[in-house]
Homo-oligomer: A and B are copies of this chain.
Amino acid sequence: MGTEIERKFLVEGSDWRQGKPVRLTQCYLNRDEHRTVRIRIAGEEAFLTVKSVTQGATRAEFEYPIPVADAEQMLKFSDGPLIEKDRHVVVLDGCRWEVDEFHGDNAGLIMAEIELTSEDQPFSRPPWLGREVTHDRRFYNSNLAAHPYKEWR
């Protein structure tokens, strides 16, 4: 088991763009607030990931590599729209940011995540960092699958 502590922010402008992103396609096999089961295809790899209840910004996470062919089949089980996004990795002052640019029903949404070793770990804020949304459930990927960004407006 890993423990995941991450903070999430909206993103402004486009100064974060660099390098080639990885396309992520994912769905959730459940809609339970207390635990999520995610199928993700990331380029040539695929993963099944279980995450437990969020407590603050901390989650228990179990991730297993699975065959891409299995993941493709399981994406069809999803009854919500798939989440499709390009993940850009931006390293800045020794911090690794993942900037997710959403497509499909979530187009227009760009979010940056930073993984921390403790919830109060300090980090430098890049100039393109917008409002923090770590605790805003609307921005959970599991929620975006059920209630995509295009429906918000």
Contacts and interface: CB of A to CB of B under 8 A. Distances in A.
Interface SS majority for chain A: mixed
Contact of A74 (B32, B50, B74): B50
Interface in A19-68: 29-32, 34-35, 37, 48, 50, 52-53, 60, 62, 64, 66
B52 A62 contact: no
Task: Classify chain A's interface size.
Answer: 20 to 34
Nearest to A52: B77
Given A64-B48, A64-B64, A70 B1 contact: yes
A12 interface: no
A73 B62 contact: yes
Contacts of A66: 62, 64
A66 B63 CA distance: 10
6 contacts: A29-B29, A29-B37, A48-B48, A48-B64, A64-B64, A64-B66
A66 B49 CA distance: 12
Contacts of A53: 77
Given A48-B48, A50-B29, A69-B1, A62 B74 contact: yes
